[in-house]
Amino acid sequence: MSVGIRYDWQIEEIQAIYDLPLLELVYQAASIHRQYHNPKQIQVCKLISIKTGACPEDCSYCAQSARYKTEVKPQALLEKETVLDIAQQAKASGVSRVCMGAAWREVRDNTQFDQVLDMVKDVTDMGLEVCCTLGMLTDAQAKKLETAGLYAYNHNLDTSPDNYSTIITTRTYGDRLKTIDNVRQTNVTVCSGGILGLGESVADRVSMLHTLANLHPHPESVPINILSQVKGTPLENQPDVPIWDVVRMIATARMIMPSSDVRLSAGRARLSQIEQAFCFMAGANSIFSSDDGKMLTVTTPCPGYDNDQQLLSLLGLEMRPPFVQKKKETVMG
């Protein structure tokens, strides 16, 4: 079974893949995974919240929106030295990618952006892949990030176009796609995925995957987040997503975007080792790990470097060095 990379996926085809008998789906996804990736390697990433909380957007899952009363304490932009220390420690623990997140609606052309550009440059100089997630960008801002050496920009679609306005009202799906396109016009790679557990239907999940898989080229990185129910947000009482839905989503993403990295992102902390192993089998090839127990904020736990190193060695897996994917893209043309 060999498939090429396609950009003309139909909704019905994606739905049919998602609905395959589970073990057949995992088998097919695992087979495709092996054609495009080294199945022994998992990329370990570290998130750094460079600016936390007080965000003007109303994303109904988010601990950092100023609209909801959550445990998160707002924090101003971190000093560059603090960021470099965290990145250095992450690198020493085998992390090959650092993602810097800011709770902004959009980037403004001010001294704070200049400081972020400086951080991007210095963390890149440490030999790490640097990703940023700073909200909406203009084309000129995307170019400045490119010049600073940025490797990837994260901007998630989160859910389907139809479901979007039930989750977020302060921006549109079109705004989201525009920023992704602004990044695409540079040589910064695109990271875009979504969240399971917002109350979406299976049709919404398939529709989001359809949008992602019809981007040309595909996002090089597709994070699959499991909702972390944050007290104080409108989605605090959502039920847990069943593990088999997570596995189906990962496997379907793997099959329709075979060369992309599929990242098992938020919500991994509540999965057992066996559940995580199933996700890797289904084609997830990246995780976020941390020494401070959290993803971006205290509301969303993240497994620690030591635990993850143990998990990977238990499963006979290894941490992927930086820039492997980029080299492959260059070779594949």
Residue of 191, 248, 268, 279 marked active site:
191
Q: Which does 99 bind (CB under 5 to 8 A by kind): ligand SAM, ligand SF4, ligand DTB, none?
A: ligand DTB
What does 220-249 look like in DSSP terms, one character per residue?
A: SEEEEEEP---TTSTTTTPPPPPHHHHHHH
The verdict on 193 binding ligand DTB (CB under 6 A) reads yes
Of residues 91 through 150, those in contact with ligand SAM by CB under 6 A are: 101, 103-104, 133, 135
CA distance 259 to 3: 11
Residue 328 sits at the vertex; the CA angle it makes with 326 and 333, to the nearest 5 degrees, is 95
Among 17, 78, 227, 302, binds ligand SAM (CB under 6 A): 227
Active site residue 67: no
The verdict on 285 binding ligand DTB (CB under 6 A) reads no
Q: Which does 297 bind (CB under 5 to 8 A by kind): ligand DTB, ligand SF4, ligand SAM, none?
A: ligand DTB
CB 266 within 8 A of CB 228: yes
Residue of 171, 263, 268, 320 marked active site:
263
Active site residue 131: yes
Active site residue 132: no
CB 271 within 8 A of CB 243: yes
The verdict on 65 binding ligand SF4 (CB under 6 A) reads yes
CA distance 12 to 10: 5
Q: Which does 65 bind (CB under 5 to 8 A by kind): ligand SF4, ligand DTB, ligand SAM, none?
A: ligand SF4
Q: For residue 132, what are the β-bridge partners?
A: 100, 153
Q: For residue 190, what are the β-bridge partners?
A: 153
Active site residue 59: yes
Q: What are phi and psi of 123, to 5 degrees?
A: -70, -35
Residue 265 sits at the vertex; the CA angle it makes with 262 and 271, to the nearest 5 degrees, is 110
190 or 312, CB closer to ligand SF4? 190
Catalytic residue numbers, as ranges: 55, 59, 62, 99, 131, 191, 263
